[in-house]
Amino acid sequence: MQAVIIGATGGIGHALTLALAQRPDCDRVHALSRTGDSSAGSNISPGQIDLCDEASIEAAARQVAATGQADLVIVASGVLSNGKDVQPEKSYRHQSLTAFEHVFAANTFGPGLVAKHFLPIMPRQGRAVFAALSARVGSITDNRLGGWHAYRASKAALNMLIRNYAIEQARRNPDFIAVSLHPGTVDTPLSSPFQSNVPNAQLFTPQQSAAALLKVIVGLDPAASGKAFDWAGKQIPA
Ligand SMILES: NC(=O)c1ccc[n+]([C@@H]2O[C@H](COP(=O)([O-])OP(=O)(O)OC[C@H]3O[C@@H](n4cnc5c(N)ncnc54)[C@H](OP(=O)(O)O)[C@@H]3O)[C@@H](O)[C@H]2O)c1
């Protein structure tokens, strides 16, 4: 199996890269990130990708295709804030075009362009999985607290794109699976400014989250395609 991790420098992306590289069924992990930094490991191939630059996405897909088909693609990148003017909004009054553009570019448009360039290099026959790290807060049904407008909306829209890809790819390969995954609340740079209300027992390490997510991915069948699941494999309503 050849796997691709997008956002391999991120907390969860890095842990996914290392966990996949140790699996006996994984021949190679393409660890793609903005800096192209790689994790150690003879079966880890570093590569550069910026989700806000379509040419870099296309070039990364070409680099992966040169070594074979991509059996598993995980989009593990994403943003919630930028430490400055982009912060999760507590009220509609705090919305800004800057925040909408920043968050949607990384969380929705970027993964969409990844699908554009990576779905064509996935197998036409047999199992193939395209997974994007979404978030439970992207569920419209599950939204009881409000707030975090740009982030929630970007993940809800991402979930819609995933469902679209599931429908379109099923016509090409009935064993193709596209899913959104909620990794749990994980101790990473993305969540660290917002962890104060999270009990310690509910805060995963990136390694715990990666192990749980890979278990979920292994257990998926084509009937799961187009849906969202949490780290425990429980379906999240749209
Ligand atoms: N942590 C949580 O509690 C939690 C909960 C629910 C959902 N999630 C989701 O899980 C995913 C991973 O989050 P994380 O917690 O691992 O966050 P993280 O440690 O901050 O990692 C985010 C990654 O996204 C990459 N990235 C951001 N913008 C990018 C762009 N334009 N092009 C390429 N890469 C880009 C970053 O790359 P650089 O290293 O280059 O900045 C980094 O590798 C996100 O989609 C997040 O929404 C996380």
- For residue 24, the CA-to-ligand 1 centroid distance in Å is 27
CA–CA gap between residue 154 and residue 136 (Å, rounded) = 12
Residue 7 Cβ contacting ligand 1 at under 6 Å: yes
Q: Can you list the positions of beta strands (E) in 122-216?
A: 128-133, 176-182, 185-186, 203-204
pLDDT > 80? residue 187: yes
**Residue 175 contacts residue 128 (beta carbons within 8 Å):** yes
Is the distance from the beta carbon of residue 13 to the nearest atom of ligand 1 less than 6 Å? Answer: yes
Mean pLDDT across 31-35: 97
- Res 37 pLDDT > 80: no
pTM (two decimals): 0.98
> Residue 41: its pLDDT value, please?
77
Confidence of residue 40 (pLDDT cuts 50, 70, 90): confident
> Phi and psi for 170 in degrees, rounded to 5?
-60, -25
Q: For position 196, what pLDDT does the model report?
A: 86
